[in-house]
Amino acid sequence: MEARAKRYTSIGREAAKPGVVNVNPIQRGGLLTAEARKALQEFGDGYSMCDFCLKGRIDRIKKPPVAGFLQDLASFLGMDVVRLTNRCRDAIFVALMGLKRSRGSSVVVVDSNAHYSTYLAAEAAGLEVVEVPNTGYPEFKVRLDAYQRAIEEVEEERGEPPVAAILTHVDPHYGNLSDPRPVAEICHEHGVPFLLNAAYTAGVMPINGKELGIDILTSSGHKSWASSGPVGILALSSKLAEDVLVRSERFPNKELYLLGCPVLGAALATLMASFPAVLERVKRWPEEVEKARWLVSELERIEGVRQLGVRPKEHTLICLETPGFHEVAKKHKRRGFFLYEELKKRGIVGVQPGLTRRIKLNTYGLSWREVEHVARAFQEIAEKYGLEVR
């Protein structure tokens, strides 16, 4: 095994090479800032944030200023209390476990565009999911008004409201942005806690939980906060904080469903180091959306290409149906991999290898020059394989 194991020391990464343009749909908002890269070196060892832990609680550490940072993070999100978790899905799981215990209900309402991990968090917490439909092909818009009916159905059939209603702020399939306000209103009328999963939004676009009526906001450091991660963000209104942050009976200093401290050496250090850059970058969101829209218009010049989800784009995560490329793949000796490989030749990575029927990409943080390069590359590849480019 020793001989074979040697190879693990020299694993490399195409996407990390200088000059490569990475359009991976889940990676753009997580790419490290220069400050985070420095923090990564300084705090690379696992327990590096715990040197001056005096109270057995990472959220109370003052050196480095973790406690102050979490307070700033809460203010930035327009929420009252923040805890860090392992991932965004763990933040949802922790919230559901706490609410289930305090409210005794067994159902949660979830939008049908939610990430698979939202469904897993509900299932692992022992909750039944009632789904809010979307409008289907080609827009897949979540029917926000249907939250009312979903909640009322649960109340009628179970005699109690659902433990919470979850809305995915921007979904991972189509990059649709759903307005939380009408859902917040419905939830509050029915006394149902409203959880907004902002994995794709908080950290890249401005968001204020208080203004939007959010009780629980979850997000993902490695998805949208330029953190190495894994790290999830669980932001709570003070009204619900106690219900969610259940204390352990045996160790009352520890928060039960967090399983005590998350170990957040490099993950937390990079989240902190990138925070000032995040405060700045959310102000540039309108231009980020503009780049996404421009790329869509350029790619739709290719035969058969059509953007799925709500038009025009309100987020940088783009889903396209690409039947022309799919036809090419059928006859290509590399099958679906041809598209990945053609893009790679042009210095572009991040479109899932093998896929050609539908593809996803994300323009967040790309320069105009890079977005133009991506557009030209797709158009060139289309022309090379005989697809019309209008």
- Cβ-based nearer residue to a copy of itself, 225 or 325: 225
Q: For a copy of itself, give the closer residue by CB, 191 or 354.
A: 354
3-state helix, strand, coil in the chain (%, to 5): 45, 15, 40
**Of 1 and 159, CB closest to a copy of itself:** 1
Q: Pairing between strand 306-308 and 194-197?
A: unpaired
Q: Which is nearer to a copy of itself, 251 or 368 (CB)?
A: 251
CB of 75 to a copy of itself, least distance (A): 6
For residue 213, what are the contacts with CB-CB under 8 A and spacing of at least 6? 180, 181, 184, 185, 187, 188, 194
Asked whether the beta carbons of 149 and 111 are under 8 A apart, the reply is: no
Pairwise CA distance, residues 346 & 137, whole Å: 32
Taking the complex as a whole, how short is the minimal distance between the CB of residue 255 and a copy of itself, in angstroms? 9
Which DSSP string corresponds to 162-223? -SEEEEESB-TTT--B--HHHHHHHHHHTT--EEEE-TTTBTTB---HHHHT-SEEEEEHHH
Q: Which is nearer to a copy of itself, 28 or 169 (CB)?
A: 28
Residue 266 amino acid letter: A
Question: Shortest gap between Cβ of 130 and a copy of itself (angstroms)?
Answer: 13
Q: Between 237 and 362, name the residue whose CB sits nearer to a copy of itself.
A: 362
> For tokens 């208080």, what's the residue?
210
Tell the smallest beta-carbon distance from residue 257 to a copy of itself (Å): 6
Cross-sheet strand order for the sheet of 317-321: 306-308, 317-321, 358-362
State in angstroms the smallest separation of the CB of 151 from a copy of itself: 21
- Nearest approach in angstroms of CB 295 to a copy of itself is 21
CA dihedral 219, 223, 227, 232 (to 10 degrees): 30
